[in-house]
A and B are shown apart, each in its own frame.
Chain A
Amino acid sequence: GEDVEQSLFLSVREGDSSVINCTYTDSSSTYLYWYKQEPGAGLQLLTYIFSNMDMKQDQRLTVLLNKKDKHLSLRIADTQTGDSAIYFCAERTDSWGKLQFGAGTQVVVTP
């Protein structure tokens, strides 16, 4: 089956840039997503990228997609304490919209 892998933990200093990495295995993925989850809350869609794109920028967020290596990254510029959360990478591989999620990366922002 398909697997989406992420590192489990990232610590970053406030004001620095954060980079969260993700690898996926299904080359037929059509969309790739980044979600943010704060404690006790649902998942917030941060951004997503269509598989024919290499990069997408949205304010402080930059998504890079390397299809050859099946590697996706999320860069958060000027990381703030409010960015502390778990970040999930997900891929969509079919027309029904089913998503395959990674285990999530816990990002801790320190002052």
Chain B
Amino acid sequence: SQTIHQWPATLVQPVGSPLSLECTVEGTSNPNLYWYRQAAGRGLQLLFYSVGIGQISSEVPQNLSASRPQDRQFILSSKKLLLSDSGFYLCAWSSRTGGEQYFGPGTRLTVT
């Protein structure tokens, strides 16, 4: 069966520090991968999606970037965090042909 992992689970970082969040998927090949941010426990906003290694599309201009160095690895990064980057970051995957999209457990980021 397929599983999706995210780490760390929680992170507290000062303003101006770098960020690296990691997401990995097991049990599938060539997944589509997504990064979402959830603010204030409510609506989710799609930040990035990827349909293959090195292929990243950004949905909103922001202080963040994403990379996909391996087929089942998706990384969210920032060079300098802002207070507004605080939130709950969720990684998700879907197959190329199926309708389902599955989410990871999320990373709670607090920028102080």
Contacts and interface: CB of A to CB of B under 8 A. Distances in A.
Interface of A: 30-31, 33, 35, 40-45, 48, 50, 86, 88, 92, 96-104
Nearest to B44: A101
Given A42-B90, A43-B90, A99 B43 contact: no
28 contacts: A33-B101, A35-B103, A40-B108, A41-B105, A41-B106, A42-B90, A43-B44, A43-B90, A43-B92, A43-B103, A45-B100, A45-B101, A45-B103, A86-B41, A86-B42, A88-B44, A92-B99, A96-B49, A96-B51, A97-B32, A97-B101, A99-B44, A99-B46, A100-B46, A101-B43, A102-B43, A104-B42, A104-B43
A86 B103 CA distance: 15
B46 A98 contact: yes
Ordered nearest first, which 7 A-B pairs have the shortest CB separation? A43-B103, A97-B94, A42-B103, A101-B44, A103-B43, A31-B99, A42-B105
| B interface: dominant SS | strand
Given A41-B105, A103-B42, A97 B90 contact: no
How big is the B interface, by class? 20 to 34
Interface of B: 6, 32, 34, 41-44, 46, 49, 51, 57, 59, 90, 92, 94, 99-106, 108
Contacts of B90: 42-43
Residue with the greatest number of chain A CB neighbours at <10 A, chosen from B59, B101, B104: B101
Given A101-B44, A102-B43, A45 B105 contact: no
A105 B6 CA distance: 25
A42 B32 CA distance: 18
Nearest to A8: B42
Nearest to A35: B103
Nearest to B10: A40
